[in-house]
Each structure stands twice: as structure tokens, then as C-alpha cells.
Amino acid sequence: MEARWLTVGPVQENTWIARLEGAEKAILIDPGDEPDTLTTALDDLGATVEAILITHCHFDHVGAVAEMARRTGAPVYCPEGEVFILEDINAHMRFPGFGPFESYSPEKTVKDGDKLQLAGFEIDVIGTPGHSRDHVTYSIPAEKAMFSGDVLFENSIGRTDLPGADHQTLLDSIAKLLDTLPDDTGVLPGHMGPTTLGAERASNPFLRELAHR
């Protein structure tokens, strides 16, 4: 798999472009901002977006969804419990000085347990709420990789002081990932750089209570 991330917007969110090596079709994950930057990257790669996948609907992850859907013609896959946020994004803005953003009605919804076949990938949708009410992680077992949004970072975890967030729920979601995926699974996050599940199990200070799982 070729996976490229572009850090965009005022809060430095990672938008991911992923495709099988040398393939034309790709998936675009969490287009948060700077649609011109994203379009240029796609053009440079010669990639055609087959689907836009959303891990959760905080503004920094969906700010460019409407524009990228328009530019690529690709369907948008949104966690079903957060569609109402995407469809009225500015009503859910909690931070002054950002936006306004364009709302969007997704073509598809996803939930825990769904399996997607897109751009040659077989993708497992894993429900990982806690940072947001219906956050999902997109796991690609054959590539030992997952797009984790804001669940897990290198030596950190997603914040839980936002509406719909809950610290224990987030820890339970991370425990589910640790229990079901191998330690060498690459964590391709929504902020900061990539890591692995095993590295976070061993050294992430927020996961000490999960260390013996």
C-alpha cells in the first residue's frame, strides 16, 4: 500500500491518500481543509478517488469534504451516528474563529462491523467511540494498517473534553483495537506521525491501565 498524508488546516490535521502500489484508484480519508493542496497531491500521484472516508465529523476532519466530493465525484462514507453533524456542520462548531464550513449529506453511512471493498482494499469498519459519539476506525488487515482518526496517537490519545466524548469509552475503544489487531498494525492517525499498536501498548502513558491486555 502507498499511503501519503498531508497535514492541513489551522489545527494540523492529517488527511490521508491511500492506494495499492502503482494503482490509479485511491481512497481519501478525512479531508479536513485546503482542498487545493489535496487536489494537487492527487494530481501529482495520478490518483482517482473512489471513495471519501470519514472517521468522525469534527470540523478539522471534514472541512473540505463538500469541496472534495464535488471535485472528485466520489461518494462520501460517514459514520451513521454523526451524519447530523456533517449535514449542519456550523451548528456544531465549538471554537470561535474557525469556519464557516460547508455542510454535506453523505452518500453512504458506515457502522461497526461493516466491510467495504474500495480501490482494491478490503476494509473493516471498527466502531471506536469516545473522542466523538460515533467515531470509526478503518482497518485494512491485508496491509496491517488502520486509519485511526483521533483515537490513538504516538504517546497520546484523543481528547475527551468535547460534546459526545467520554474518557472511559475511548479507553474501551483502544482496548478493542489492542485485543483484535496485531501489534505490528500501523496506526495512521489524524494528527502527528504514524506509529504502531505495539509501540503504543508498550510506551503510551495513557494506556498503562491496558498494559496487561
Closest CA to 155 of 192, 210, 130: 192
Q: For the chain, give every domain's residue range.
A: 2-210
Whole-number average pLDDT of the chain: 95
- So what's the pLDDT on residue 55? 98
Cell of 154: 504516538
- So what's the pLDDT on residue 210? 75
Helix (H), strand (E) at residue 43: helix 35-45
Which residues are CB-neighbours of 111 under 8 A, at least 6 positions away?
79, 80, 81, 125, 127, 134, 136
Looking at domain 2-210, does it have CATH number 3.60.15.10?
A: yes
| pLDDT (tens digit per residue) in 56-112 | 999 999 999 999 999 999 999 999 999 999 999 999 887 778 879 999 999 999 999
Say which range, 79-83, 156-160, 178-182, 205-209, has the weakest mean pLDDT: 205-209
Give me the mean pLDDT over the 121-150 stretch: 98
Per cent of the chain over pLDDT 70 is 99
CB 149 within 8 A of CB 92: no
Compute the C-alpha angle 86/92/96, nearest 5°. 125
Please give the model's pTM, rounded to 2 decimal places: 0.96
- So what's the pLDDT on residue 169? 97
- So what's the pLDDT on residue 212? 55
- So what's the pLDDT on residue 62? 97
